[in-house]
Amino acid sequence: MSSATDQEEPVRPRILIVEDEPLIALMLTDMLAELGFEVAASVTQVGAALKVLDELKVDVALLDVNIGAEKIDPVADLLAARGTPFIFTTGYGNSGVPAGHAGRAILQKPFHIDDLATVLRTHLKSESGR
């Protein structure tokens, strides 16, 4: 039973991780938790990401540009159509980003927790101001 004196937990932004390297996905999950974000789901395939997006609301997504042999484009296209912010994670700079999303934020691998915090907070702030 809750009382009027109970404090509600602050709402934490929900993040979708699409990353096919298990160690990177685990590292991201840990970093996001430390930064106060909630990982809504972490998936390793484009199809799984699309299914998650049909079932869950996310506030932002971190998309690995290379998901095995799959292109991340369908996920990026769906997020863009919904107006959901997303950030590409890649070790290849702008060259791997889908052409239709060339202006999107990029988190260059390898990155540190401070890099992740900066790009997320900057991107979420700029998206909420639109």
User: pLDDT band at residue 11, thresholds of 50, 70 and 90?
Assistant: confident
Q: Are 17 and 39 in contact, with CB atoms under 8 Å apart?
A: yes
Tokens of 37: 């974000």
Mean pLDDT value of segment 48-53: 98
E strands in the chain: 14-18, 38-43, 60-64, 66-67, 70-71, 86-90, 105-108
Give the other-Cβ count within 10 Å of 26's Cβ: 13
Q: What is the pLDDT of residue 41?
A: 98
Beta bridge partners of 51: none
0.85 surpassed by pTM = yes
Q: Where are the domains of the chain?
A: 14-128
Report the share of the chain in percent with pLDDT over 70.
88
Which 3 state secondary structure label does DSSP give 99?
helix
Q: What is the pLDDT of residue 10?
A: 67
Which of the two residues, 122 and 58, has the higher pLDDT score? 58
* pLDDT of residue 19 exceeding 80: yes
User: pLDDT band at residue 3, thresholds of 50, 70 and 90?
Assistant: very low
Mean pLDDT value of segment 6-34: 89
Query: pLDDT tens digits for 22-48?
Result: 999 999 999 999 999 999 999 999 999
Q: What is the pLDDT of residue 123?
A: 77
Query: pLDDT tens digits for 77-97?
Result: 999 999 999 999 998 888 889
CATH classification number, 14-128, choose in 2.130.10.10, 3.40.50.2300, 3.20.20.70, 3.40.50.720: 3.40.50.2300
